Structure 1
Amino acid sequence: MAKKFPLHPKHPERICWGCDKYCPADSLQCGNGSGRTLHPAEMIGDDWYLHGDWGIELDDGAVKPADNGTTESPQ
């Protein structure tokens, strides 16, 4: 079973997101290229999972980004 993919990790720059291993950026194990794979939030923004078909099932308590650039829980 694959690990649940985090929507808003605290420090995405410290992890390679290229496979289910989630290796530290300075110790890649999978050989998925010469550098780390960015988290979608680093490339697209905090609302990355709301656009496109990522195949991610959101929990009812999932945090959704607010219009002002911060995150808040849905009410």
Structure 2
Amino acid sequence: MAKKFPIVPAHPERICWGCDKYCPIDALACGNGSDRTQHPAELFGEDWLEPILPFPDAQQEDGPGAGTAQDAGKDKQ
């Protein structure tokens, strides 16, 4: 089982986030290169988990995926 991924770690710059080992930057054990992989919070900010384009509920219903099999049963009644 993989380790639980921290959403906003205290010091993300001290760890490589490239695999489940979460090695310190001076001891990269996975050998995936000489550079550490940055945490998403370092790249996108602390709200990196928030949706990029939040849509109101009305737009989601009219968007792609509208008229699915669940909706088809409603029309027959």
Bucket of the pairwise TM-score, normalised by the shorter protein: 0.5 to 0.7
State the one-letter code of the partner of 1:35. D
User: Where does the alignment leave 5 or more consecutive residues of structure 2 unmatched?
Assistant: 53-77
Residue 24 of structure 1 aligns with an amino acid whose one-letter code is P
Partner SS for 1:33: coil
Runs of at least 5 residues in structure 1 that lack an aligned partner in the other structure: 53-75
Q: Write out per-residue CA displacement over residues 30-65 of structure 1, whole angstroms, 9 at most, x where no aligned residue.
A: 01111100000000000111236xxxxxxxxxxxxx
Percent identical residues: 71
Q: Hey, which of these two has a bigger chunk of helix by percent? A: 2
Taking structure 1 as the reference length, the TM-score comes to: 0.65
Letter paired with 1:32 = N
Structure number with greater Rg is 2
Report which of the two has the higher share of strand: 1
Find the counterpart in structure 1 of residue 37 from structure 2: 37
Number of equivalences: 52
